Amino acid sequence: MKFHVHFTYKVAEREKLLQLLQSGGLSADGQLKIIGAWLAVQTGIGFALIESKDAKAIYDMSSIWSDYGQITITPVVEATDV
């Protein structure tokens, strides 16, 4: 299943967050596939599209984000599948 992830981050944490993203720190031991992640650097907002069959992996990933800001995770389906 795919999930849209909307997150905020504290500007002071931006460099740590970038290092985490670049190091693959959100991979959750291979249980998550990060399809893409985007940052609006000046606003402290980011988006990601991830795929996973493991609810615990989603929880573990969201726990990591709690150090940086708030996170909202929404399950999504492709419009052609509806």
Q: Above 70 in pLDDT, residue 28? A: no
CA 60 to each of CA 10, 38, 41: distance values in angstroms, whole numbers, following the listed order: 20, 20, 24
> CATH assignment of 2-77, given 2.60.260.40, 3.30.70.1060, 3.50.50.60, 3.40.1440.10?
3.30.70.1060
Q: Above 70 in pLDDT, residue 50? A: yes
Q: Above 90 in pLDDT, residue 69? A: no
DSSP assignment of 22-34 equals: HTTTTSGGGT-EE
Tell if the pTM clears 0.85, that is, is over it: no
How much of the chain exceeds pLDDT 70, in percent? 93
Average pLDDT over residues 36-50: 87
State the Cα–Cα distance between residues 72 and 63, nearest whole angstrom: 12
One-letter amino acid at 23 equals: S
pLDDT of residue 79: 92
| Cβ density class 6-25: b for 16+ within 10 Å, e for less | ebebeeeebeebeebeeeee
